[in-house]
């Protein structure tokens, strides 16, 4: 069975590319080679290269391991933390009861 790849919009592809570039810059700032980071993250160097290029096929597990090696794993927790739209939608569905509940 062939693997299915996600169909991504160009905007999403640009975001992934940007994330990959930021990870590569973080690695270079720490003066770590791709071999060092890949070994410490428990992945192959080719997987790290794909991640740094923004390949959508790299697993989130590999991403978080690379972030851990770079000391950036807490940044992962910031994803979707401030969900303004979601909170507005949730608040719009909250209904107030007309009467007090029965005992």
pLDDT for the residue 66: 97
Asked if residue 53 lies in contact with residue 42, where contact means CB atoms within 8 angstroms, the answer is no
Extended strands (E) in 1-101 = none
The residue ranges of every structural domain in the chain are 10-93
Say what the pLDDT of residue 1 is.
58
Task: Note whether 26 and 72 are within 8 A (CB).
Answer: yes
CB 17 within 8 A of CB 53: yes
- Range 10-93: architecture per CATH: Orthogonal Bundle (1.10)
Q: 6 or 83: whose pLDDT is higher? A: 83
pLDDT for residue 98 = 67
Q: Give yes or no for a contact between 68 and 40, defined as CB atoms under 8 angstroms apart.
A: no
d(CA 54, CA 31): 21
Q: Distances from the Cα of 98 to the Cαs of 91, 95, 101, 103, in angstroms?
A: 17, 9, 9, 15
Q: Which residue has the tokens 């303004």?
A: 84
14: pLDDT strictly greater than 70: yes
pLDDT in the model for residue 95: 62
Question: Is residue 70 very low, low, confident or very high in pLDDT (cuts 50, 70, 90)?
Answer: very high
């Amino acid at each position: 069975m062939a693997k299915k790849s996600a169909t991504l919009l160009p905007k999403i592809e640009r975001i992934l590319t940007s994330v990959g570039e930021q990870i590569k810059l973080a690695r270079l700032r720490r003066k770590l080679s791709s071999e060092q980071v890949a070994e410490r993250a428990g992945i192959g160097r080719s997987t790290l290269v794909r991640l740094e290029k923004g390949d959508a096929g790299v697993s989130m597990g590999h991403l978080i391991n690379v972030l851990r090696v770079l000391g950036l794993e807490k940044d992962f927790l910031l994803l979707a933390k401030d969900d303004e739209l979601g909170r507005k939608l949730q608040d719009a569905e909250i209904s107030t009861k007309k009467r007090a509940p029965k005992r």
